A and B are shown apart, each in its own frame.
Chain A
Amino acid sequence: EAEVAQSPRYKITEKSQAVAFWCDPISGHATLYWYRQILGQGPELLVQFQDESVVDDSQLPKDRFSAERLKGVDSTLKIQPAELGDSAMYLCASSFGDYMTYEQYFGPGTRLTVT
C-alpha cells in the first residue's frame, strides 16, 4: 500500500540552527500539505501545494519558515533559525485532489525538539 514518506522521523537541534524536513507524497497526488502539531493540540495547516504552486501559506511564519515543491513531487520544509517554540510534530499529507473530494493521507511525521 502506498504511503507518504517523511524523513527524518526525529530531529534534535539547538536554537538558532537550521533544520529541514523532507516529504515524499503518494505517487500521483497533486496536493501536498504541511501541518504542525504542537503537543496536546490538533494539527495546524502551515502550507498547501497544488502541484508546485503554493495554494495557502497564510499560517506559515515566513520570517523563518520556507517550503518548496520544485517539481511538484516531493517537498522540503525548512526552519531557519529554529526557536524553542518550534518544537512540535511536523506532518506531511497528500491527496489526489482537493481534500473536499479526496482523502488526505498523512505521513508518520517528524518530531522536532529544539534545545
Chain B
Amino acid sequence: AQSVTQPDIHITVSEGASLELRCNYSYGATPYLFWYVQSPGQGLQLLLKYFSGDTLVQGIKGFEAEFKRSQSSFNLRKPSVHWSDAAEYFCAVAPQSFQKLVFGTGTRLLVSP
C-alpha cells in the first residue's frame, strides 16, 4: 500500500545542535515530496519541495532536505536549531499520476536550552 512514514513522533534537540527528521515513502515511482511546518495555533507552512533534479533541496528558514531514491527517503535537516524551530513537521508526498497530497503523521520537535 502507498504510504508516508515519519518514524519519530517526538524529537528533542538542544538549541544550536543539528537536526534531522526522517521521512520514508512507499510508492511505485518517485513521487513529488514536500516538508511542511505547523506552529501551535497556526496553519501549515511549506518549507521546501522536491519534484526532480538536484537531490539536495534548499528551503526557507535554513532547512534543507535530501532525496535518496535507493532508500525511498526525504529527510529534513538543519545545521543549527533555534528555539523558534519548535513545532510539528510534516512530510507529504503526491504521486505523479494524480493530484493529492498525502501527509505523514508528523514529528514534534522540542528544542531544549
Contacts and interface: CB of A to CB of B under 8 A. Distances in A.
Interface of A: 4, 40-45, 48, 55-56, 91, 93, 98-100, 103-109
Contacts of B44: 43, 91, 93, 104, 106
Contacts of A98: 99
A103 B34 CA distance: 10
B34 to A, nearest CB: 9
B25 interface: no
A108 B106 CA distance: 17
Contacts of A40: 105-106
A92 B101 CA distance: 14
B41 interface: yes
A43 B103 contact: yes
Contact of B99 (A43, A93, A99, A108): A99
Interface string B53-79: 000000000000000000000000000
